[in-house]
Structure 1
Amino acid sequence: MKKIILLLLLTVSFVACKKDSEEDNAPKAYTDRIVLDDLQVTADSVSLTWTVLENADLRAYQVTRRESPSGAGTNLSFISDTKKVKFVDKAVPYAPYVEYQVVGVLTSGQPIASNIIVYKRPEIKVLNVSPFDVQFNRERRELYIFEREGKISIYDLESNQITKTIHTESTIGYSDFGVHNGVEELYVPRNDGWVFVYNARTLEKVDQINVGLASSCVVANNSLLFVSTAAWTNRPLKVYSRATKGLISETGDWDMTRMKKIPGSNTELIEITLDIGPTDQHYYNFSSTGNISYHKTDRYHGDYPLDAAIFEIFPSGDKYITSSAGAIFNKQLVYEASLPRGNHLFTTFDFDEQNQLIFGGTRSKTIEVYAERDYSHVRSIRTKGYPYRIFKDADNGIICLSSSSVVDGYDYIGPKNLIVEAVR
């Protein structure tokens, strides 16, 4: 009898302890507010838990993330199971400031917002730039950062900081570098009918050339400036002498394009249109005096993907790669292949001449590496941010200018909140 009584007491004690334990672990509940708990941070995710909102009108919980106190929020999840008070953010932006909030959505439309919890990482340095183009001086290891509204900055990789900035007070286009009278210069096309000339090292303005029309791109070669202007179909590609600043020749079909010089040529250009559809491409061959020798037009007119914002010529000069699909053409404008990319979408390309590799930054926080000889996939490199521009930096690996949010290849202004990564 004593054993039975003892067993009953132990059973009652166990049930009572279990009930107390479950009540201690159960999330707290309130009828008029939501309390977001401290964040649980791991290497690549952030876990959120919050109190139960005991309100008969509760329809769902909405989890929101911001990258600044005044920034626009990103809705991470809409949780219709009102008993679920947990969420794991597995795509935390690589940013110095991230804040989270949970909002109770009522059937009346009236929200009940939780407190805000902030996740800070001050070691992450963000550049206050929003570029549409970035160019790399490999000899000096400097990034030239160009912004649409006219700001130009130099970022020094040795000191890891912006060392020079100017404001041109004009909307600008794709710029280029050249040497005149032994001085390295930067040529910047503008929307007011001028091309401004700057000392490339100091960003001091040294000259200006009147082209009479808004221009979108300048290519420099052997003291000649090839300028894409807004002349529509009236020979919009103008060639100017840097020495005399005078017009040498005119050609072209489409206005306001982007051009790149084929390496080692004097002078061959590949051109891709910026604002007509379908996107078009052209090939030009000029004499050493700046007069047109040969002009080839596009045979496809939209059959294969082209994107002037994602556009690089192979170091050999016989091919180029473009668009988020990684489409490859030879310099006679003939489509050859596209890189095997699966679900990846490319945002930028560069090359390793020594090892004959193609690097492609993607919207998936990776750099995909391919063999140039047969386009076979070699490996994937993870990045902390979303690659916007990548540059092979000799023995230092790959310099990756990355965004904390997905890079949109069609963004005219350019991404914000950029970081500089060095990856291998």
Structure 2
Amino acid sequence: MFTVPATKHAVTDEFGTVLLSDLPSGSYEIYANLTGYGSGKQVVRVSPDSLKPVAIEIRYGVKTEFIPEIELILPSIPANFAPNENVVFSFNVIDKDSRPEEINVVISSDLDGKLLETKPNSVNNVKFETSTLSRGLHTITITATDKDNYSATKTITVTTTAPSNITLESANKTSQDCVLLKWQQYKTADFKRYEIFRTNSPDIEGQLIASFTVADSVEYLDKLPPLVNETYYYIRVSNAEGQYRISNKIKVEEPAGKIYHYSITDAVHHPTEPILYIVDNAAMKLRAINYVTQKEINSIGLQGSVGDIAIGNNGFGLEVYVPNNGGFIYVYNANTLNLVTSIKTGLDTRCVVTNGHGYIVASLIPSPWWEQPVRTYSRSTGVNISGNGDYEGDRLRFIPNTDKIISISRGISPVDMEYFELNGSGEILSHKDDSYHGDYPLDPNIFRILSNGEFVVTGQEGAVYSAANTMIYKGVINRGAPNFSDFAFSNNGNIIYAGTSNRNSLQVVKYPQLTRTDEILIKGYPKFLFNFQGKVISISRTSQYSDAYVFEQISIE
């Protein structure tokens, strides 16, 4: 609290009161200032031998300019320094009614006493450096007094018991979309722990992802970096006194791999190369992506509403088959994505499959719906070979290395399963419905068959059936909370790798017991899984409901 004209100034007690005594008679403006909040004033006339009470309302955001104002620049807070480390103090002192040379500045420590008495320079700045602060926790007080003898103070806490500086030297992406960190070894005897932090903003405190208590451990591999456009890493070292020091931060772009902002409704894998063919429904494109090089090789525009696609070689080289609701199956060269030919079905076509035996099987929506909704077509001539089936728009899958098909219905309730047996020319020889008719879980969109043709696994529950004309229900995976999104298998079929839509993981399931024995945490939420050369390839959402994806490679053998 202070007066204009200048007389005395004082600090209130804990009740917000103060006594200004022995003031000369006259009229005064009485000012009160609450640092960081605001100020207020009252006008009073002082008479001899009288006591005049004054109540002052502090107004938020209102500043007084009659006392010096101290603006701290350095040190940064928290001000943690090692013993004998150079500490730089820098601050501006501004006073409306006093020139810099009329302001007296004192810097003092509660441990070391007065450190400096000086005046601001011509641009109102005071800068002071010292490396002689004693070891301990210092309360540094900065006091600025103007020509009217009004003072302002600012206090900061400085510790000289912190660890010495630590440097994060590198944070580099690896070929497996991990991030390898390397940092400078801390060699002072007071070492206690390294902690590795990761943050998506350089201005926000990071997430602790690992820690080490061995001083010569100076590398860390982040195997599950976040699915973001960029992230930052830093190291925090702490010492035996419980103090810590933070390293520099290093930015890593797309740390978990390239992010693709696509709306992926279906995908197939190249039989021999690390290439995925995806249907980007939002852009209406078929895209070919090499997930090792993280590059899109080709893309081509699609027509109409696209169904479930297939890939195969039916004597014309590797091709991608794309059905649509306009009554066609479009055939694209897998290497160039050039349109090779089209097969006219004349009906809304929802799914195609092939086994490379020269024919293509399509799931259609005829009118009436029971009129041969599953039909086969010659790849060479496009001629309809045969037809059968009970339900329109089924999801079809070949039992691998056979001319037999399992289908799951999409257009009826309850959901049903069917079995088809064909000959090598694509003629449908027999057809059979399952005997359960909805008693157990079925899902046409979550549906895989083991490579040796032993069983089918389907649905978010993980229901297992024999892949034969009996379609015997074998049981359901003991899943707990996870919901399954897709499945891949070990080469011997003893392990089911079940992707989860509500957890970034692959659940490891033992067959035939159908018990989960482990889980593999991955970066995203898997939507489509493929087994390729001893790895599970996952097309993963970056978040649970996102239309942004990454391609992950998870070693399993």
Q: Which residue of 2 aligns with 1:39?
A: 204
Separation in 2, partners of 1:333, 1:249: 23
Bigger mean CA deviation after superposition, 379-388 or 282-291 = 282-291
Separation in 1, partners of 2:376, 2:499: 34
Q: Does 1:391 align with 2:530?
A: yes
CA shift digits 1:389-410 (9 cap, x unpaired): 2223324x32222112215xxx
Separation in 2, partners of 1:220, 1:145: 17
| 1:290-369 aligned within 5 A | 290-331=426-467, 332-354=470-492, 356-362=494-500, 363-369=502-508
| 1:235-246 aligned within 5 A | 235-246=372-383
Separation in 2, partners of 1:185, 1:138: 11
Change (3 A) 1:220 1:398: closer
Change (3 A) 1:241 1:234: same
CA shift digits 1:13-45 (9 cap, x unpaired): xxxx9xxxxx999xxxxxxxxxx9942111469
| 1:70-219 aligned within 5 A | 94-96=227-229, 121-124=253-256, 125-148=258-281, 150-219=284-353
Q: Which runs of 5+ in 2 are unaligned?
A: 1-109, 111-138, 140-154, 158-200, 211-224, 232-250
Secondary structure at the counterpart of residue 40 of structure 1: coil
Specify which of 236, 250, 255 is matched with residue 387 of structure 2. Answer: 250
Separation in 1, partners of 2:361, 2:202: 60
Letter of the 1:169 counterpart: Q
Change (3 A) 1:138 1:184: closer
Q: Which residue of 2 aligns with 1:283?
A: 419
**TM score, norm. by length of structure 1:** 0.70
RMSD: 3.0
Letter of the 2:259 counterpart: V
Change (3 A) 1:421 1:294: same
CA shift digits 1:120-163 (9 cap, x unpaired): 95434211321111222241111111233531111113312211
Separation in 2, partners of 1:44, 1:364: 19
Change (3 A) 1:295 1:365: same
Separation in 2, partners of 1:276, 1:120: 49
Specify which of 517, 521, 525 is matched with residue 382 of structure 1. Answer: 521
CA shift digits 1:175-212 (9 cap, x unpaired): 11232334112111111011111111111101011100
Whether the aligned pair in 2 keeps the contact of 1:388 and 1:402 (CA below 8 Å) is yes
| 1:21-36 aligned within 5 A | none
Separation in 1, partners of 2:338, 2:492: 35
Separation in 2, partners of 1:355, 1:328: 13
Change (3 A) 1:97 1:309: farther
Separation in 1, partners of 2:428, 2:532: 35
Whether the aligned pair in 2 keeps the contact of 1:93 and 1:405 (CA below 8 Å) is no
Alpha-carbon offset, residue 356 of structure 1: 3.0
Q: Does 1:230 align with 2:361?
A: no
Bigger mean CA deviation after superposition, 149-158 or 330-339 = 149-158
Looking at secondary structure, tell me which structure has more helix per residue: 1
Letter of the 2:352 counterpart: V
Alpha-carbon offset, residue 289 of structure 1: 2.8
Separation in 2, partners of 1:405, 1:239: 39
Secondary structure at the counterpart of residue 289 of structure 1: coil
Number of residue pairs the alignment of both structures matches: 324
Change (3 A) 1:134 1:292: same
Separation in 2, partners of 1:93, 1:245: 47
Specify which of 393, 396, 420 is matched with residue 551 of structure 2. Answer: 420
Letter of the 1:168 counterpart: L
Q: Which has the higher contact order (CA 8 A, sep 6+)?
A: 1
Secondary structure at the counterpart of residue 527 of structure 2: strand
Letter of the 1:372 counterpart: Y
